[in-house]
């Protein structure tokens, strides 16, 4: 879909909310942009550079967020997970408060 939300997200979020009424725990994570070699600098000078600077998610931050999601006790949480990027577009306030996830890495270190 053109707004960045995939069809499976749109399909599964209402189902997850419905399951909360059945005492099911659910943590959905909208994750940023992971790169195979954990180096976002390959986008430097390309159209994708600004997007990468906002959405970069390091391997370390990704692992920590997933661990926290497995450990948290909550009925429902939709968490945004990106590294500590100045240009990020997602508000991490609820993710930090609920998961205790404090991203450590920073896209600008690569540019």
What DSSP element (H or E) covers 80? Answer: strand 76-81
Which secondary structure element, helix H or strand E, spans residue 59, and what is its range?
helix 59-71
Q: What are 6-39's pLDDT values in tens digits?
A: 444 545 555 555 555 556 688 999 999 999 999 9
Please state, as a whole number, how many other Cβ atoms lie within 10 Å of the Cβ of residue 85: 22
Q: How far is CA 14 from the centre of its chain?
A: 19
Residue 31 vs residues 21, 23, 45, 75: alpha-carbon distances, Å: 25, 25, 24, 20
58-81 residue pLDDT tens = 999 999 999 999 999 998 999 999
d(CA 80, CA 74): 16
Alpha-carbon distances of 69 from 1, 5, 73, rounded to whole Å: 26, 21, 9
The three-class DSSP label of residue 96 is: helix
- Per-residue pLDDT of 40-49, as tens digits, reads 999 999 999 9
């Amino acid at each position: 879909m053109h707004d960045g939300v995939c069809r499976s997200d749109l399909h599964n979020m209402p189902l997850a909310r419905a399951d909360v009424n059945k005492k099911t725990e659910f943590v959905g994570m909208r994750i940023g942009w992971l790169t195979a070699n954990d180096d976002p600098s390959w986008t430097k000078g390309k159209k994708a550079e600004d997007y990468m600077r906002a959405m970069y998610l390091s391997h370390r931050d990704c692992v920590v967020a997933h661990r926290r999601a497995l450990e948290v006790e909550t009925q429902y949480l939709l968490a945004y997970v990106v590294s500590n990027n100045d240009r990020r577009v997602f508000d991490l306030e609820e993710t930090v408060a609920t998961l205790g996830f404090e991203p450590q890495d920073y896209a600008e270190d690569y540019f």
